[in-house]
């Protein structure tokens, strides 16, 4: 999921950086500052999640969790993920500094999209419906991310379909795992701490 330095063309890097700046600005503006600790915790969760490899068969995958982060944070996912990605580049060498903008957009934009697409769903009064929407959000964010990764590679000269196919197939296990994890997380948070997913605010808005 982390594109490394040197894989992308300069215009792609520039557009990615510009979009990230815009996203972070919107995120900081829209962020409810009483939720700042929550933003920090989820940023830390993302930072760690990429480091923990879950064994699947003869290989391993790691969670990305941008769906869950999007559902919880909305636009604030941009600053949260930017910080986490930056620190991952510093400490683990994941990705790189030049591609930081592109990587942030590729991971944070799906998070924001999931926030708008599935936000109502997870606020449903039926836990079953909420869990299903959570799963859709978890898996869907990975799908959108793979498409965005393939798109960034295409703009830099790689064949889109091939890149998309390879990235997509590679992440099918991640999608399944993320779907389950996000659904379970949504169910748990709904019971224990519904304000974490802004469920009350959403209901009030309706």
Residue 159, burial from CB neighbour count under 10 angstroms (0-12, 13-18, 19+): exposed
| Cα 119 to Cα 123: distance, rounded to the nearest angstrom | 7
Of the pair 135, 149, the CB lying nearest another protein is at 149
Out of 30, 165, 193, 200, which residue is the one contacting another protein (CB under 8 A)?
165
User: Does position 35 bind another protein by CB under 8 A?
Assistant: no
User: Does position 125 bind another protein by CB under 8 A?
Assistant: no
Please count the other Cβ atoms lying within 10 Å of the Cβ belonging to residue 176: 16
User: Does position 56 bind another protein by CB under 8 A?
Assistant: yes
Specify the DSSP class assigned to residue 51: T
Out of 13, 68, 83, 183, which residue is the one contacting another protein (CB under 8 A)?
83
Of the pair 3, 122, the CB lying nearest another protein is at 3
* Residue 102 beta carbon to another protein: minimum distance, rounded to whole angstroms: 9
Q: Which residue is listed with tokens 């600005």?
A: 25
Tokens (6 digits) for 23: 């996203």
**Interface segment toward another protein; rule CB under 8 A; list 15-23, 37-45, 66-74, 129-137:** 37-45
Residue 59, burial from CB neighbour count under 10 angstroms (0-12, 13-18, 19+): exposed
In order of 38, 43, 90, 170, 199, the CA distances from 145 in angstroms are 23, 18, 22, 12, 25
Tokens (6 digits) for 61: 């995958």
Of the pair 157, 193, the CB lying nearest another protein is at 157
5-34 binders of another protein (CB under 8 A): 6-8, 33
Of the pair 3, 131, the CB lying nearest another protein is at 3
Q: Which of 18, 38, 196, 180 is nearest to 123 (CA)?
A: 196
User: Does position 111 bind another protein by CB under 8 A?
Assistant: no
Out of 143, 155, 166, 184, which residue is the one contacting another protein (CB under 8 A)?
166
In the complex, the residues that contact another protein under the rule CB under 8 A are: 1-4, 6-8, 33, 36-37, 39-40, 43-44, 47-48, 50-51, 53, 56-62, 64, 83-84, 87-88, 90-94, 149, 152-153, 162-163, 165-167, 169-174
């Amino acid at each position: 999921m982390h594109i490394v330095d040197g894989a992308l063309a300069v215009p792609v890097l520039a557009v990615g950086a510009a979009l990230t700046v815009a996203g972070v600005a919107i995120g900081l503006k829209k962020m409810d500052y009483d939720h700042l600790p929550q933003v920090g915790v989820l940023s830390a969760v993302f930072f760690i999640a990429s480091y923990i490899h879950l064994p699947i068969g003869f290989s391993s995958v790691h969670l990305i969790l941008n769906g869950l982060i999007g559902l919880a944070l909305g636009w604030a996912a941009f600053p949260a993920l930017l910080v986490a990605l930056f620190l991952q580049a510093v400490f683990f060498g994941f990705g790189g500094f030049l591609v930081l903008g592109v990587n942030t957009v590729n991971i944070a934009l799906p998070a924001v999209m999931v926030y708008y697409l599935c936000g109502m769903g997870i606020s449903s009064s039926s836990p079953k419906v909420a869990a299903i929407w959570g799963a859709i959000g978890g898996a869907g964010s990975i799908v959108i991310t793979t498409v965005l990764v393939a798109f960034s590679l295409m703009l830099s000269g790689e064949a889109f379909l091939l890149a998309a196919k390879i990235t997509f197939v590679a992440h099918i296990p991640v999608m399944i795992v993320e779907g389950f994890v996000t659904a379970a997380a949504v169910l748990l948070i709904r019971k224990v701490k519904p304000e974490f997913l802004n469920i009350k605010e959403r209901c009030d808005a309706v």
